[in-house]
Amino acid sequence: MGVSEESLGGWLAAWRELKENGINPSRDFKEMLWGETHDHVVYAVRDGLVDAGAVRTNTLEELQAQGKIDLKDFFIFPYLHEREASLPYLCTTREYPNWPMAKVRGTPNELAEKVAVALFQLQAGSPAALAAGCAGWTIPMNYQTVLECMMALHVGPYKDLGKVTLGDIMRNYGPWIVVAFIVFCSLAGFAALVVQLNRRLKASHTSLMTEMEVCRLMDKELAGAKEQAVAAPLAKSRFLANMSHEIRTPMNGIIGATDLALAESLSPEVEHYLHIVQNSSYALLGIINDILDFSKIEAGQLELKERVFRLDEMFDRVMDVFVNQAAEKGIELLVDIEKDTPRMLLGDSLRLQQILTNLVGNAIKFTNPDGIILASVRIENAATEDLDEGQVLLDFQ
């Protein structure tokens, strides 16, 4: 039995010693009772109502002095700690200072406050102080040991000592937790973004490598196709050049034989046939020359031969080719050479004649009957400053 659960000398001091020696009253005692007063606890032990009790130091000595008990009827547990000096009373637990005042249960708080104020104001010479044999009320002792006892037992204001609740954490560290949570979420989001970007980067790298491989294969194929494309025209040009040379040889033989035959005495009918062969041979030779020129142009081997020629005579040769053809369609052929145009020129008259022949031939094909074809030439004055001395730029239309 103890005085009460909140009593320091009547229970808390004994409970601390029990706890430090491995005894748990709620577990190891059959029953725990509370006697309300120290005297009641002593009487309960004396009368055998309980096996043991806890009361304030010097309680037994006071009851014996009053003749209410005999100490021989009690077993007092020995002092468990080293003592600096001997005490005039029996004591088991470590010592704690007495409370300067206490309020019994049932006393109103307002009355207890008034009594406490009056006691603190008590003068040493007042009748109450003289009757009580004291000089006043104060708190001269160190109550740290009481606080240590309450902390060890986790009672009173230290009931929740060592316990940390979510509310305590939020009250003390709430702002920091919120900031840390925001930082953590930001870092987590940033990490997720980095991972996502890294995945996209890897996918883009893989796609780029694939495209580069495809482009490399395409470049290789294009290079091969280019080589074939370059080789094809060259092969064609070589073929045309070889063919033209091969055909010119028998064609010159045909023309030469025809010329020799026409030099003999022939019947009019045979001579007519030979003239047909001669004209056809020259026409075919012109076609062969054109093919040869085309192959030279593609092969980059066409060369212009400079020779002195008369411009008007070159025009006459062109017009002589188309006189009969123009007459059949009723087309009039005209030549206009401006007076300032030089007549004697140095250049490739054969190539110029071929160009004019093509132009006039196309004009005859696309000109309506009874039309007029005018071939003209004049000096291009706009480009005179860009020419060297002795050069002239002519405009043929």
The last residue of one of the domains, among 98, 118, 149, is: 98
* The pLDDT value given to residue 19: 92
pLDDT at 138: 64
- Whether the per-residue pLDDT at 38 is higher than 80: the answer is yes
The percentage of residues in the chain with a pLDDT greater than 70, rounded to a whole number, is 91
Residue with structure tokens 């409970």?
15
Whole-model pTM: value is 0.41
Mean pLDDT of the chain: 84
Banded pLDDT at 298 (limits 50, 70, 90): low
Q: What are the two backbone dihedrals, phi and then psi, of residue 344, each rounded to the nearest 5 degrees?
A: -90, 120
Summarised one tens digit per residue, pLDDT across range 64-83 is 999 999 999 999 998 877 77
Instruction: Write out pLDDT tens, residues 201-222.
Output: 999 999 999 999 999 899 988 8
Single out the residue of 251, 321, 317 nearest to residue 289, CA to CA.
251
CATH code of residue 347: 3.30.565.10
Last residue of a domain, one of 69, 98, 127: 98
Listed range (88-92, 169-173, 329-333) with the worst mean pLDDT = 169-173
Q: Phi and psi (nearest 5°) for 272?
A: -65, -45
For the ranges 65-74, 175-184, 313-322, which has the lowest average pLDDT?
313-322
Asked whether residue 175 is domain-assigned, the answer is: no
Q: What is the DSSP letter of 34?
A: B
- Rounded Cα–Cα distance for residues 161 and 99 (Å): 23
Cα gap 72→54, rounded to integer Å: 17
Range of the domain at 70: 1-98
Query: Which is higher by pLDDT, 304 or 308?
Result: 308
Residue 300 has pLDDT above 70, yes or no: no
Give the residue-averaged pLDDT of 306-322: 85
Of 72, 98, 124, the position where a domain reaches its end is 98
Choose the weakest-confidence range: 31-40, 43-52, 214-223, 387-396.
387-396
The whole-angstrom separation of Cα 225 and Cα 392 is: 44
Strands 307-310 and 344-347, by their bridges, are: antiparallel
Decide: 376 and 396 in contact? Cβ < 8 Å. yes
In a domain, 254, yes or no: no
pLDDT bucket at 283, cuts 50 / 70 / 90: low
Instruction: Provide mean pLDDT across the span 250-259.
Output: 82
Task: Give dist(CA 353, CA 371) in Å, integer.
Answer: 23
Residue 357 — pLDDT band, cuts 50, 70, 90? confident
Rounded Cα distance, 87 and 101, in Å: 23
Question: Which pLDDT band, with edges at 50, 70 and 90, does 259 fall under?
Answer: confident
Q: Taking each helix axis from N to C terminus, what angle separates 268-299 and 166-262, rounded to the nearest 10 degrees?
A: 150
Which of residues 215 and 168 earns the better pLDDT score? 215
Percent pLDDT > 90 in the chain is: 23
At 74 the pLDDT is: 92
Q: Are 12 and 149 in contact (CB under 8 A)?
A: yes
Check residue 155 and give its pLDDT: 86
b/e string for 195-223 if b means 16 or more Cβ within 10 A? Answer: eeeeeeeeeeeeeeeeeeeeeeeeeeeee
Q: 334, 277, 345, 275: which is closest to 310 by C-alpha? A: 345
DSSP β-ladder status, 307-310 and 372-379: unpaired
The answer to the question of residue 107 being in a domain is no
Domain count across the chain: 2
pLDDT of residue 185: 93
Amino acid 289: pLDDT? 73
- Looking at the domain assignment, is residue 190 inside a domain? no
Q: Is residue 194 part of a domain?
A: no
According to the model, what pLDDT value does residue 326 have?
Answer: 86
> Which of 25-29, 85-89, 165-169, 295-299 shows the lowest mean pLDDT across its residues?
295-299
**3-7, 62-66, 155-159, 220-224 — which is least confidently predicted?**
155-159
- What is the distance between the alpha carbons of residues 225 and 351, in angstroms, rounded to a whole number? 35
Residue ranges of alpha helices (H) inside the chain are 13-20, 25-28, 38-46, 59-65, 109-120, 127-132, 144-153, 166-262, 268-299, 311-329, 349-366
Residue 217, in any domain of the structure: no
Sequence-distant (6+) residues with CB within 8 A of 227 are: none
Residue 139 pLDDT grade (very low, low, confident, very high; cuts 50, 70, 90): low
Burial status of residue 3 (CB atoms within 10 A of its CB: 0-12, 13-18, 19 or more)? buried
Nearest to 35 by CA among 52, 22, 15, 21: 52
